[in-house]
Amino acid sequence: MFSSAWRSVATNIETQLTAAYFRVQKLRKVGLRGMHSTLEDVKLESMQVKILPALQDNYMYLIVDNKTREAAVVDPVDPELVIKTVQEANVTLSKVLTTHHHWDHAGGNEKLVKLWEKELEVYGGDDRIGALNKMVRQDDSFTIGSLNVRCLSTPCHTTGHICYHVTAGDGKGEGAVFTGDTLFQGGCGRFFEGTPEEMYDALCTKLSALPDTTKVFCGHEYTLQNMSFARHVEPDNESIQQRIEWAKLRRASQDPTVPSTIGEEKIWNPFMRVHEASVQKHAGGATDPIVTMGKLRKEKDNFKA
Ligand SMILES: [Zn+2]
């Protein structure tokens, strides 16, 4: 029989072993590279999207066509992780989709092109993008195997910013949109090279016109910071509070909070809600959505979550 002293030693050892076990499990999930989030696959009817964390809070995405196993990568700032993922998934990588020229998105293009033995088509809307060989504009389209990609020109964060809308070849079923630093979950990118009018056109005209079920894959894990601002703008919006609780749980285990959907962003993202009286009232009472957009962005620039 154990004495109480032995029992306490045994309990202590058990506690430490349990803690060590969870540390190992976490390491297995996040990997030895110290990634900010776990690797995750999102399965849509016609495609699979592999979420690949990079740098401090960036996301790269590998889009795989279910029919042909042809693949494209979005913003491959960490080429080594892209190559490892492509090889493990045994898919054919042929295209690079660049959202904009900032180094944390386009900074891996040249290295990836160099490391990859086969020819890569590098898409983007700005000649400041490294290794660019396919310049695209609004409504240009191309394919990834049987998938269709349509380019949406969304200047404001940068003048050459492109969002990519990917759908099945027949245009039916669930689509996905890769929004870089234009639309974030619960927020939007800073207006480095553009105006409130341009961001309005991007968020409230072009992106809002996509089907509500479209999955939104954005360029950064900023959800909790953005949602904290969204709650400040609309304290009575319950969907914001619910998403915060959900996102806190996800982040506690380093799980990504992407994707959301266009329909959800219309419900909780203040920058997509500049027509709403509640948002306009918060932004000083102007009933012009573009004035509201400008005021919200200014306030967010100085907001401490
Ligand atoms: Zn950027």
Q: Strand, helix or coil at 141?
A: strand
Average pLDDT of the residues of the chain: 92
Q: CA-CA distance, 63 to 66, in Å (whole number)?
A: 9
**Mean pLDDT value of segment 272-296:** 97
Q: Is the pLDDT assigned to residue 28 strictly greater than 60?
A: no
Q: Of 204, 201, 206, 197, nearest to 290 (Cα)?
A: 197
Q: Please give the distance, rounded to the nearest whole angstrom, from the Cα atom of residue 180 to the centre of ligand 1.
A: 7
CA dihedral 18, 22, 23, 25 (to 10 degrees): 140
Burial (CB count within 10 angstroms: exposed 0-12, middle 13-18, buried 19+), residue 241: middle
DSSP reduced 3-state for 6: helix
Cβ burial of 38 (10 Å; 0-12, 13-18, 19+) is middle
Cα(233)–Cα(296) distance, rounded to whole angstroms?
9
Question: Rounded to the nearest 10 degrees, how much is the dihedral formed by the CA atoms of 51, 54, 57, 59?
Answer: -30
**Could you give the strand order of the β-sheet that contains 215-218, starting from the edge strand earlier in sequence?**
141-144, 147-153, 162-168, 176-180, 215-218, 260-261
Q: Which residues of 10-19 are buried (b: 16+ CB within 10 A; e: fewer)?
A: eeeeeeeeee
CA of 154 to the centre of ligand 1 (A): 12
pLDDT in tens, 99-156: 999 999 999 999 999 999 899 999 999 999 999 999 999 999 999 999 999 999 999 9
- Rounded distance from Cα 256 to ligand 1 centre (Å): 19
Alpha-helical segments (H) within the chain: 4-30, 79-89, 103-106, 109-115, 196-200, 223-233, 238-252, 262-268, 277-282, 289-301
CA of 219 to the centre of ligand 1 (A): 8
Please measure the distance between the N-terminal and C-terminal CA atoms of the chain and give it in whole angstroms: 55
pLDDT of 253-270, one tens digit each? 999 999 999 999 999 999
What does the pLDDT average to over 223-232? 98
Domain extent listing, the chain? 34-301
pLDDT above 80 for 30: no
Indicate the SS3 state at residue 5: helix
Between 101 and 14, where is the model more confident? Answer: 101
- pLDDT-derived band at 21 (thresholds 50, 70, 90) equals low
Q: What percent of the chain has pLDDT over 90?
A: 86
Q: How many C-alpha atoms does 201 have within 13 Å on its Cβ side?
A: 14
- Given a cut of 50, is residue 1 above it in pLDDT? no
Residue 162 pLDDT: 98
- Which pLDDT score is estimated for 19? 53
The continuous run of DSSP H or E covering 260 comes out as: strand 260-261
The pLDDT score that the predictor gives to residue 229 is 98
CA of 182 to the centre of ligand 1 (A): 8
Chain centroid to Cα 150, Å, comes to: 18
- Sign of the C-alpha dihedral computed for residues 6, 9, 11 and 13 taken in this order: negative
Q: Mean pLDDT, to the nearest integer, of 3-14? A: 62
Average pLDDT over every residue of 12-26: 55
Q: Could you tell me the pLDDT band of residue 203, with boundaries at 50, 70 and 90?
A: very high
- At 86 the pLDDT is 98
User: Is pLDDT larger for residue 29 or for residue 231?
Assistant: 231
The more confidently predicted of residues 6 and 41 is: 41
CA of 254 to the centre of ligand 1 (A): 23
Coil, strand or helix: which one is 93?
strand
Residue 51 pLDDT exceeds 60: yes
> Which residues are part of the catalytic machinery?
100, 102, 104-105, 157, 181, 220
The residue among 73 and 29 whose pLDDT is bigger is 73
- 155-181 confidence digits (pLDDT tens): 999 999 999 999 999 888 889 999 999
Class of domain 34-301: alpha beta
